Copies of this chain bind each other. A is one copy, B any other.
Amino acid sequence: MRYEIRLSGEGGQGIVLAGIILAEAAIEDGKNVVQTQAYGPESRGGATKSEVIISDEEIDYPKATRLDLLLALTQEACDKHRHDLKEGGILVADASRVLTLPQGGWVVYRLPLLETAREKVGRGVAANIVALGAIAALAKPVSREALEKAVGRRAPRGTEALNLKALDAGYELADSLRQTA
């Protein structure tokens, strides 16, 4: 079992931190993980994509090539990365920043991640953690317990409670979706 996730957005959205938290949660679950940031010269504000490959086996090839799940926090990120999403894969896109959804054989969730971070958590920058909660609830690449532990450990000091709240809000967002679907 190899599960490939790419988190994408723009500099300053906390894509690197989200990738590390997801990776450390998977470790907590006893998996093997490779977690990669690729930067180009355009990404001065921080990496705009982060990949997490989770496997029960040792991971020989560390590059994601057939994504099981893509998070896109901006339209540009969505347009750029959707081609690597495999048939039947899951796309989680921010509702306010991704207005044009790609057509294809994917399961698409367009969710108010940024809005939830602003309104439920009081800080738009927590959208990365809201997204992790939603992803975990929808696709279960990691356990909730492990994810909470990783958020508590990696959140900048003093922001642990706020980020755990953001995580909860992400789970709720995905759950509410299931109830209305």
Contacts and interface: CB of A to CB of B under 8 A. Distances in A.
Copies of this chain per assembly: 2
A157 interface: yes
Given A59-B38, A156-B156, A157-B156, A20 B16 contact: yes
A148 interface: no
A121 B30 CA distance: 35
Interface residues of A, number: 31
B36 A40 contact: no
A61 B58 CA distance: 18
Contacts of A27: 39, 41, 43-44
Interface of A: 16, 20, 23-24, 26-28, 30-41, 43-44, 46-47, 58-59, 61-63, 156-158
